Copies of this chain bind each other. A is one copy, B any other.
């Protein structure tokens, strides 16, 4: 009756077998290298598997899908960025007045999104990753709006402020219509100003 499963302990990261960890590492490296060489869109799962020296099935067990793999790649930089928002130097990090932080957030987000645009597109709307990223930015903006003293439907207002920073829209404006990034940022700042009523 009494089963002796190790009782996961929550802090211990779910003990991954040694070979599994090694392969995950190798796969991430191989994928990153291939993305750097040929662009994310041109990377195939077979290539990644071959380059990492593992079978194709292994890639899919580790990362679920092509989108999952791209998402994992993306997460590396995304996590760093989140850290600099949470605890980096102001005005992006804490310490500056909330409206300044919000402006810095927008600027930084535009740059980071454009820089990883291809990867983000390839990662698609893969469940957990994208949702985590979404909910982090949404929460942060909501918090800043509250700090500023904005009243109204904050969750939806935050979404409205974030929407023009999504890849398809930024791509359209910057890469297709060739608006300068500075102008896009100015316009976003203007939008924020109107929303917070200043």
Interface residues of A (CB under 8 A from B): 125, 134, 152-153, 156-157, 159-160, 163-164, 166, 168-169, 172-173, 179, 183-184, 186-188, 190-191, 194-195, 197
Contact present for A134 and B197 (CB under 8 Å): no
Contact present for A173 and B187 (CB under 8 Å): no
Contact present for A191 and B125 (CB under 8 Å): no
A152-B190, A157-B191 known, 18 other contacts, Cβ within 8 Å: A125-B168, A134-B172, A153-B187, A156-B173, A156-B179, A156-B188, A157-B190, A159-B164, A159-B169, A159-B172, A159-B173, A160-B164, A160-B191, A163-B163, A166-B166, A166-B168, A166-B169, A194-B195
Number of this chain's copies in the complex: 2
> Which residues of chain B are near A168, meaning CB under 8 Å?
125, 166
| Residue among A160, A183, A188, A195 having the largest count of chain B Cβ atoms under 10 Å | A160
Taking a contact as CB atoms closer than 8 A, the residue among B125, B157, B179, B187 that contacts A160 in the complex is B187
- CB-CB nearest in chain B for A179: B156
- A-B pairs with lowest CB-CB distance, top 5: A156-B187, A163-B163, A163-B164, A160-B164, A153-B187
Shortest CB-to-CB span from A162 to chain B, Å, is 8
| Residue among A157, A159, A187, A195 having the largest count of chain B Cβ atoms under 10 Å | A159
